[in-house]
């Protein structure tokens, strides 16, 4: 695992240096995080950037509060994250916070394998169950892409459109319908 | 009373000559730009220099009219590119954000209203059947139970009927597959509108009206430059954006990511992935228009 992390870091730094050399780089201008974890040839060719995770204001790093608190894995009413518990609707019968959030280091997510995951790569966590969606997302079919159809593209994370605690896409108010022919004078 | 006979004598003709002279003077009073525009040849036969002059004139004209710097591009198609579009029917929720993003990007008239995209609400039980389609749905929230939504704009046919019926050759399919209109050559006969089976062409029945501050000044000659009364207009896949490498604005606004765009000739493109891996259909396939706009089911 350590070995893997080392390799990972090296690749990341090489990419960072390469990107820094590129003055026209979209990444820094757009305040995007490089999605270095996507390694298929298509993604490398097309320079994909993933937007930063949409944290609520002043909530991250989680360890700021949690470091001093004792870990309690029990399902219970929470004082702090009440709104999340209220709206929790994501296989809520079978799951609770620490199935996705790491118990020992709250600034990270946790895969089923036990390995830690940065919030920037949360799509890997989602992909554990929603593999078909992850596959489609990587090739640009699930989810929205913006930018250049033939060059730099920006991806959104799953959590930009789906609340991870209640992932059903929320209904929207439609914009006004076109004018009816009989209403034109 | 005897009917007065019309006098067609040579003397009378000569007497009327000054009127003709006055007319000539009046014509000479037109600015050279107006004359150039009047005598402009078909866009496809123009040289690079002639096109340059025309877009320069238009930039000047629009900048004065709307009080901001205009860019009118005449960027041609790039070899090896054939644009294609795919729309995910299983994800579209009918919010109409694309309709209004298109209006703003492409300078459609606000009043009288012109919409290039029409979102059809279909009945789940009836499937894709325009007989049961409704464009005027207006609930508090979408999507609605028992319905799905099918946005329709120009299907960018490989075999377009609109271009073949045009008596002035003011509309044609470009090399990258976009069907365009030269508003300077359109005479407003609306044959193309009758020929299009998708209702994708729209006529400017009145003088188009766009508030100055809302006009998009980044334009293309064959796309979103301001139009006049009496010409037909249509979706161009945002020619001013896609020939510059950007996604069409409807793709960028869609909150569900239902809209996909790319190069059909690039085997690694999103659009090719969809065509090869998803269940795809084209609208009114039986008419053999061969659209480059595909509908698919992502889930």
Torsion of CA B186, B192, B193, B194, to 10 degrees: 140
B199 and B293 in a common domain: yes
Q: Which whole number is the average pLDDT over A75-83?
A: 83
Mean predicted lDDT score pLDDT of chain B = 94
Long-range contacts of B225-228 (CB under 8 A, 24+ apart): B225/B58, B225/B62, B225/B72, B225/B107, B225/B183, B226/B62, B226/B65, B226/B66, B226/B107, B227/B107, B227/B109, B227/B183, B228/B183, B228/B204
**Chain B closest-CA separation from residue A176 CA (Å):** 7
Residue B239 has pLDDT above 50, yes or no: yes
B288 and B183 in a common domain: yes
B217 and B139 in a common domain: yes
Q: Please give the pLDDT value at position B38.
A: 83
Interface contact flag, B142 A174, Cβ < 8 Å: yes
Q: Which whole number is the average pLDDT over A80-90?
A: 88
Q: Please give the pLDDT value at position B33.
A: 75
B264 and B189 in a common domain: yes
Best of B199, B245, B253, B261 to disrupt the A interface (most A CBs within 10 Å) is B245
Confidence grade of residue A185 (pLDDT, cut at 50, 70, 90) = low
Q: What is the residue whose two structure tokens read 């271009």?
A: B163
Mean predicted lDDT score pLDDT of chain A = 79
Number of domains into which chain B is organized: 2
Is residue B53 domain-resident? Answer: no
B168 and B257 in a common domain: yes
Confidence grade of residue A68 (pLDDT, cut at 50, 70, 90) = confident
Residue B172 has pLDDT above 90, yes or no: yes
Residue B23 structural domain = 9-35
Alpha carbon distance A46, A33 (integer Å): 15
More confident residue, B135 or A9: B135
Q: Which whole number is the average pLDDT over A112-125?
A: 93
Q: Where are the domains of chain A?
A: 24-68+81-169
Alpha carbon distance B109, B73 (integer Å): 21
Q: Which whole number is the average pLDDT over B201-219?
A: 96
Instruction: Output the domain CATH number for residue B134.
Output: 3.30.70.20
Q: Which of A140, A148, A173 sits opposite B141 (nearest CB)?
A: A173
B97 and B19 in a common domain: no
Interface contact flag, B263 A179, Cβ < 8 Å: no
B28 and B121 in a common domain: no
Q: Are B289 and B160 in contact (CB under 8 A)?
A: yes
**Chain B closest-CA separation from residue A149 CA (Å):** 5
Residue B147 has pLDDT above 50, yes or no: yes
**Chain A closest-CA separation from residue B269 CA (Å):** 8
Q: Are B102 and B254 in contact (CB under 8 A)?
A: no
Confidence grade of residue B95 (pLDDT, cut at 50, 70, 90) = very high
Q: Are B232 and B203 in contact (CB under 8 A)?
A: yes
Q: Which whole number is the average pLDDT over A125-152?
A: 93
Residue B112 has pLDDT above 60, yes or no: yes
Q: Is A176 exposed, middle or buried (0-12, 13-18, 19+ CB in 10 A)?
A: exposed
Best of B105, B153, B269, B295 to disrupt the A interface (most A CBs within 10 Å) is B269
Is residue B60 domain-resident? Answer: no
Is residue B77 domain-resident? Answer: no
Q: Are B134 and B121 in contact (CB under 8 A)?
A: yes
Interface contact flag, B298 A141, Cβ < 8 Å: yes
Alpha carbon distance B7, B174 (integer Å): 55
Is residue B163 domain-resident? Answer: yes
Residue B79 has pLDDT above 90, yes or no: yes
Is residue B52 domain-resident? Answer: no
**Residue A46, Cβ neighbours under 10 Å: how many?**
20
B17 and B141 in a common domain: no
Interface contact flag, A184 B112, Cβ < 8 Å: yes
Global pTM value: 0.83
Question: Any chain B CB within 8 A of the CB of A139?
Answer: yes
Does the bond joining A169 to the residue before it have cis omega, within 30 degrees of 0? no
**Chain A closest-CA separation from residue B184 CA (Å):** 27
Q: Which whole number is the average pLDDT over A35-63?
A: 66
B251 and B115 in a common domain: yes
Which chain A residues contact residue B266 at CB under 8 A?
150
B28 and B146 in a common domain: no
Q: Which of B113, B245, B255 sits opposite A179 (nearest CB)?
A: B113
Alpha helix segments (H runs only) across chain B: 10-28, 32-38, 48-66, 97-105, 161-165, 191-195, 239-242, 249-253, 270-277
SS3 of residue A74 by DSSP: coil
Interface contact flag, B246 A173, Cβ < 8 Å: no
pLDDT digits (tens, 9 = 90+) for B2-13: 666 777 888 888
Best of B96, B119, B258 to disrupt the A interface (most A CBs within 10 Å) is B96
Strand ranges, E, within B134-285: 147-152, 171-173, 179-181, 202-203, 218-220, 232-233, 259-263, 279-281
Which of B2-6, B107-111, B138-142 has the weakest average pLDDT? B2-6
Tell me which DSSP letter residue B107 carries.
T
Tell me which DSSP letter residue B135 carries.
S
B123 and B29 in a common domain: no
Express the helix, strand and coil content of chain A in percent, nearest 5 each. Answer: 35, 10, 55
Residue B136 has pLDDT above 90, yes or no: yes
Is residue B75 domain-resident? Answer: no
Q: Please give the pLDDT value at position B3.
A: 62
Q: Please give the pLDDT value at position A9.
A: 61
Is residue B108 domain-resident? Answer: yes
Is residue B29 domain-resident? Answer: yes
Q: Please give the pLDDT value at position A126.
A: 95
């Amino acid at each position: 695992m350590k070995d893997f992390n080392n390799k990972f870091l090296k690749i990341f730094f090489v990419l960072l240096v390469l990107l820094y050399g590129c003055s026209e780089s979209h990444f820094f201008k757009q305040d995007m995080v490089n999605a270095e974890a996507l390694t298929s040839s298509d993604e490398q060719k097309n320079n994909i950037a993933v937007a930063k995770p949409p944290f609520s204001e002043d909530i991250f790093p989680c360890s700021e509060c949690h470091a001093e608190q004792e870990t309690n894995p029990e399902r219970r009413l929470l004082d702090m994250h009440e709104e999340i518990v209220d709206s929790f609707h994501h296989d809520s019968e079978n799951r609770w916070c620490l199935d996705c959030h790491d118990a020992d280091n709250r600034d990270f997510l946790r895969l089923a394998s036990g390995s830690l995951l940065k919030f920037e790569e949360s799509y890997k966590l989602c992909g554990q169950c929603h593999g078909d969606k992850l596959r489609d997302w990587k090739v640009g079919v699930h989810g929205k892409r913006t930018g250049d159809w033939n060059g730099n593209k920006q991806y959104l994370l799953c959590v930009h459109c789906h609340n991870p605690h209640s992932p059903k896409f929320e209904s929207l108010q439609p914009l006004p319908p076109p004018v009816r022919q009989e209403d034109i004078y | 009373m005897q009917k007065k006979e019309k006098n067609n004598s040579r003397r009378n003709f000569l007497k009327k000559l000054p009127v003709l002279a006055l007319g000539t003077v009046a014509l000479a009073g037109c600015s050279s730009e107006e004359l150039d525009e009047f005598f402009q040849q078909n866009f496809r036969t123009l040289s690079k220099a002639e096109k340059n002059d025309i877009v320069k004139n238009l930039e000047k004209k629009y900048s004065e009219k709307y009080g901001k710097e205009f860019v009118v591009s005449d960027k041609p198609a790039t070899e090896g590119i054939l644009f294609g579009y795919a729309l995910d029917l299983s994800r579209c929720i009918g919010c109409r954000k694309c309709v209004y993003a298109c209006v703003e990007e492409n300078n459609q008239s606000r009043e009288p209203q012109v919409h290039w995209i029409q979102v059809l609400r279909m009945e789940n039980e009836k499937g894709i059947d325009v007989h049961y389609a409704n464009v005027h749905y207006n609930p508090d929230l979408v999507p609605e139970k028992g319905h799905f939504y099918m946005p329709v704009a120009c299907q960018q046919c490989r075999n377009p009927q609109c271009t073949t019926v045009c008596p002035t050759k003011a509309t044609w399919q470009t090399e990258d597959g976009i069907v365009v209109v030269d508003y300077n050559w359109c005479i407003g006969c609306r044959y193309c509108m009758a020929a299009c089976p998708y209702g994708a062409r729209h006529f400017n029945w009145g003088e188009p009206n766009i508030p100055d501050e809302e006009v998009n000044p980044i334009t293309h000659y064959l796309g979103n430059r301001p139009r006049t009364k009496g010409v037909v207009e249509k979706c161009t896949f945002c020619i001013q954006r896609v020939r510059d490498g950007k996604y069409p604005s409807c793709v960028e606004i869609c909150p569900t990511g239902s809209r996909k765009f790319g190069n059909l000739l690039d085997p690694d493109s999103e659009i090719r992935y969809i065509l090869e891996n998803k269940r795809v259909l084209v609208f009114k396939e039986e008419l053999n228009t061969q659209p480059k706009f595909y509908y698919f089911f992502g889930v």
